[in-house]
Structure formats: structure tokens, C-alpha cells
């Protein structure tokens, strides 16, 4: 008895080649300034490549004697990140429970909370920092407020959507037993969703260290102010030290947060 013949394998490469050619053509068209695209001057890049190579060489020669001066600003950055994440963690719990459908059956109430959170998330962090620096002055305070708003929008959005997408039969059982929505949220929903909150709080803390290095450019304190200062003086060897320090701190925080997540799981 002969084995049944397999059907021929469909030819997909023509479609893939057509898609790749269309993407390549679209990319080329977006670089043509004559039709309103981005003005990409490849000739200028080719002429001035030596300047970039020289600056890159300076980046690869960090001035380790500059390292002690970065400790104070880096500690301020870590303080800003921790305070902003802690404040957002406290405020995110009630807002998240009010924004999720299983923990807040009131549609108008959910719409109000979600609308506020969407507005908070829609404004970029640098815009927050610029406005707050103008309102409260240069320093760590506008940076903390910016990180607080940034973290609040992320945590409430992600955790409330996670609550919406999962089943919560215990809440229905609690309401059937006569418990109010607030009692069910406090006694049942919050303990069940606490690992979700913890994961997002740790994620927000990781982001805060990266973001605070950028916020300092507009005067919001931390290591970013020193980074902007050294860039202004074209001290690329000092900038290299700051970048390396930020990299080490971010990796260390991520390692610690992953360890905490494993213990909370």
C-alpha cells in the first residue's frame, strides 16, 4: 500500500517579496524632502563622519576621576525614583479598584476615573517636568511630581486592565452573601490583586531611574542635570562615566526587582 502523497507546499515567497519591496519603497519615499518627507542628508553624514568618530573615541575613554562627583546626583536620582514610586503605589490602589469593572460596577464612576488616568497618561513626562519646573522651581520636587504622575498612569492602566480580563467569582459570592462592594474589595479583591500591584510597582521603580536621568535635562534634578551640564561643555569623557553609572544602577535595580518578583510569585 502506497503512502498518500503530501500536498505541495504553498509558495509564500512572492507575497513576502512584495511586502518587503512595498516597505522599502515606502521608507525611501518618507526620506524624500521634495514630497514632504524627512530630509535625510546622507551626503552630509558621509562628509562629517570623522567628527562622529572622534566624539565616539572620546566616549570610549571615560574619566574615572570624575566618578566621585556623580555619587551625590545619582543618590538624588534614586531618592526621586523611590519617592515617586512609593507615592504612586499608595494612590494607585483605590484608583485602580475604581477603574476596574469587577471592583466598581458603576459605569459613570469608572468612566470618570479612566478619563482622568487617560489624560494623565497622554501628557509626556518631559512636558510635565517642564511645566512643574516653571511652577515650583528647579530641583528634585518637580522630578518627584513628574515621576508620581507617570507611575500613576502606568500602574492604574495596566492593573485595572488585568483585573478586567480575569474572572473574579469570589466577588460575586461576597455580594450574594450581603457584603458591600467596598467590603468585598478590601477583604477579597485587594489581597488577590496585590501581586499584580507589586509587579507594576517594581516595574515603575525601574522606569523611574531611566526617566529621571532625562528629566534633569529640563531642570528636574538628579543625575540628568549633571549629564546636561557635561554635555554642554562637550566633556564626553565625563558623560561616558555618567552613562556607565546609570547602566550599572539600572541593571542592579532590575536584578533586585526580579528577585523580589520571584519571592512574591
| Domain harbouring 96, CATH code | 1.10.3720.10
From the number of C-beta atoms within 10 Å of its C-beta (0-12, 13-18, 19+), residue 142 rates as: buried
Percent of the chain exceeding pLDDT 90 equals 31
pLDDT at 105 over 90: no
pLDDT at residue number 150: 93
197 and 89 belong to one structural domain = yes
Could you tell me the pLDDT band of residue 4, with boundaries at 50, 70 and 90? Answer: low
Tell me what the pLDDT averaged over the chain comes to.
85
195 and 249 belong to one structural domain = yes
Count CB neighbours of 165 within 10 A. 10
Instruction: Give yes or no for a contact between 230 and 239, defined as CB atoms under 8 angstroms apart.
Output: yes
29 and 80 belong to one structural domain = no
Instruction: Average the pLDDT over each of 69-83, 208-222, 242-256 and give the range with the smallest value.
Output: 208-222
pLDDT at 41 over 80: no
Average pLDDT over every residue of 167-185: 79
**Residue 181 belongs to a domain:** yes
202 and 238 belong to one structural domain = yes
19 and 121 belong to one structural domain = no
From the number of C-beta atoms within 10 Å of its C-beta (0-12, 13-18, 19+), residue 42 rates as: exposed
23 and 122 belong to one structural domain = no
Residues shown for the chain = 265
Alpha helices in the chain (DSSP H): 13-30, 42-47, 49-59, 67-99, 107-122, 125-136, 140-164, 169-176, 181-184, 190-215, 223-232, 236-264
237 and 114 belong to one structural domain = yes
Cα–Cα distance between 145 and 72 in angstroms, integer?
20
**Residue 161 belongs to a domain:** yes
24 and 155 belong to one structural domain = no
**Residue 115 belongs to a domain:** yes
**Residue 54 belongs to a domain:** no
Residue 223: domain span: 64-264
The segment with the largest mean pLDDT, out of 27-31, 90-94, 253-257, is 90-94
Average pLDDT over every residue of 121-133: 90
Average pLDDT over every residue of 173-194: 82
38 and 109 belong to one structural domain = no
**Residue 53 belongs to a domain:** no
38 and 155 belong to one structural domain = no
pLDDT at 1 over 70: no
**Residue 57 belongs to a domain:** no
pLDDT at 250 over 70: yes
pLDDT at residue number 2: 61
Could you tell me the pLDDT band of residue 262, with boundaries at 50, 70 and 90? Answer: confident
**Residue 5 belongs to a domain:** no
How many domains, the chain? 2
**Residue 1 belongs to a domain:** no
Instruction: Give yes or no for a contact between 156 and 96, defined as CB atoms under 8 angstroms apart.
Output: yes
143 and 220 belong to one structural domain = yes
Amino acid at each position: 500500500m502506497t503512502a498518500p502523497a503530501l500536498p505541495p507546499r504553498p509558495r509564500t515567497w512572492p507575497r513576502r517579496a512584495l511586502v518587503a519591496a512595498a516597505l522599502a519603497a515606502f521608507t525611501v519615499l518618507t526620506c524624500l524632502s521634495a514630497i514632504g518627507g524627512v530630509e535625510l542628508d546622507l551626503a552630509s553624514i558621509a562628509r562629517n563622519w570623522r567628527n562622529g568618530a572622534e566624539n565616539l573615541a572620546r566616549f570610549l575613554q571615560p574619566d574615572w576621576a570624575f566618578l566621585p562627583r556623580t555619587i551625590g546626583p545619582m543618590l538624588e536620582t534614586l531618592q526621586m525614583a523611590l519617592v515617586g514610586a512609593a507615592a504612586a503605589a499608595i494612590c494607585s490602589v483605590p484608583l485602580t479598584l475604581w477603574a476596574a469593572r469587577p471592583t466598581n460596577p458603576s459605569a459613570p464612576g469608572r468612566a470618570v476615573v479612566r478619563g482622568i488616568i487617560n489624560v494623565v497618561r497622554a501628557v509626556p513626562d518631559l512636558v510635565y517636568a517642564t511645566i512643574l519646573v516653571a511652577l515650583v522651581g528647579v530641583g528634585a520636587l518637580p522630578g518627584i511630581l513628574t515621576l508620581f504622575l507617570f507611575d500613576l498612569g502606568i500602574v492604574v492602566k495596566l492593573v485595572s486592565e488585568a483585573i478586567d480580563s480575569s474572572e473574579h467569582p469570589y466577588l460575586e459570592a461576597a455580594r450574594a452573601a450581603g457584603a458591600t462592594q467596598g467590603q468585598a474589595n478590601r477583604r477579597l479583591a485587594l489581597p488577590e490583586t496585590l501581586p499584580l500591584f507589586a509587579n507594576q510597582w517594581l516595574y515603575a521603580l525601574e522606569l523611574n531611574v531611566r526617566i529621571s536621568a532625562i528629566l534633569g535635562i529640563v531642570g528636574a534634578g538628579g543625575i540628568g542635570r549633571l549629564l546636561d551640564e557635561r554635555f554642554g561643555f562637550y566633556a564626553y569623557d565625563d558623560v561616558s562615566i555618567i552613562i556607565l553609572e546609570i547602566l550599572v544602577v539600572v541593571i542592579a535595580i532590575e536584578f533586585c526587582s526580579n528577585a523580589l518578583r520571584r519571592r512574591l510569585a
